[in-house]
Amino acid sequence: MNKSVINAIVLAGGREDLEGNVHGYKSLLALNGRPMIDYVVEALKNTPDVGEIAVVGPVDELSPYISDKVDYIISEGDSMMDNVIFGLRPFQNDDRVLFLSSDIPFITPDAISHFIKQSCLTDADFCYPIVERSVNEAKFSGFKRTYVRLKEGAFTGGNIMYVKPSLVTNHKELIEDLIAMRKEPINMIELFGAGLAIDLAIGRASIEAIEKRIEQMLNIRAKAIISPYPEISQDIDKNDDIKAALRIFEGA
């Protein structure tokens, strides 16, 4: 496969108690008459750099909306890590794959394509997009986001990852730890070490320092991709996010 064309895995499992979520599954929350997963799949389908698409989640519930639009719908497991592993099965021999969350309804083909192209240029094993605060707030001022202060500016994280599949299989326990502590920043001390964690807390850490620490931990090459597309980071996590998203759709 052409290196610039990559297969994609959308993680669409998990239930959320959000307003108007009649299905219970976050990926099926309707915004402007369409489930969120449909926006993500449509963006992927219209991205020339994307090959096959696999979606991991509740097969029976997802099928009526996306069965004719994706290549695989894979039954979800008991945890997010299970879903990551299951999603890789059709692509286990791929050089790199793309992981996306299903709760980014504003994602665009341009945002996906830019991230893929920039990731391919790095030759890294793992790439993660970050968006500078002023770029994000210029388009999504109605949403509350968490920002990390770095030497280069204040950034929020995206909801896409460019990953070498063997990274997942070779570092399963560490990735499980990362997933478990992702909502608790204090745990970064245990993960990154006290020195870097303190630098992060006071805004003194650099992007390069974080990349190097990840490389030391996993023996891989990791790169942060600064994206000019805030759509790559804007997920729907709370009821206030739903209200802000609906205002955007209504004004479109």
Q: Quick one: which of 23, 69, 36 has its CA closest to 50?
A: 69
DSSP 59: H
Q: Over the stretch 4-34, which tens digit does the pLDDT of each residue have?
A: 699 999 999 877 665 655 567 889 999 999 9
Q: Are 8 and 53 in contact (CB under 8 A)?
A: yes
Residue 96 CA to chain centroid, in angstroms?
Answer: 15
The sign of the dihedral angle between the CA atoms of 78, 79, 85, 90 is positive
Side chain identity, residue 88:
L
How many helices, marked H, and strands, marked E, lie in the chain?
11, 11
Output the average pLDDT for the chain: 88
Other CB atoms within a 10 A radius of the CB of residue 126 amount to 23
Please compute the mean of the pLDDT values over residues 81-109 and round it to a whole number: 95
Question: CB–CB of 225/132 below 8 Å?
Answer: no
**Distance between CA 127 and CA 51 in Å, rounded?**
18
pTM of the predicted model as reported, rounded to 2 decimal places:
0.90
3-state helix, strand, coil in the chain (%, to 5): 45, 20, 35
Q: Which fold has domain 6-251?
A: Spore Coat Polysaccharide Biosynthesis Protein SpsA; Chain A (3.90.550)
Instruction: Parse the chain into domains and list their residue ranges.
Output: 6-251
Q: What is the pLDDT of residue 1?
A: 44
- pLDDT tens-digit series, residues 39-91: 999 999 999 999 999 999 999 999 999 999 999 999 999 888 899 999 999 99
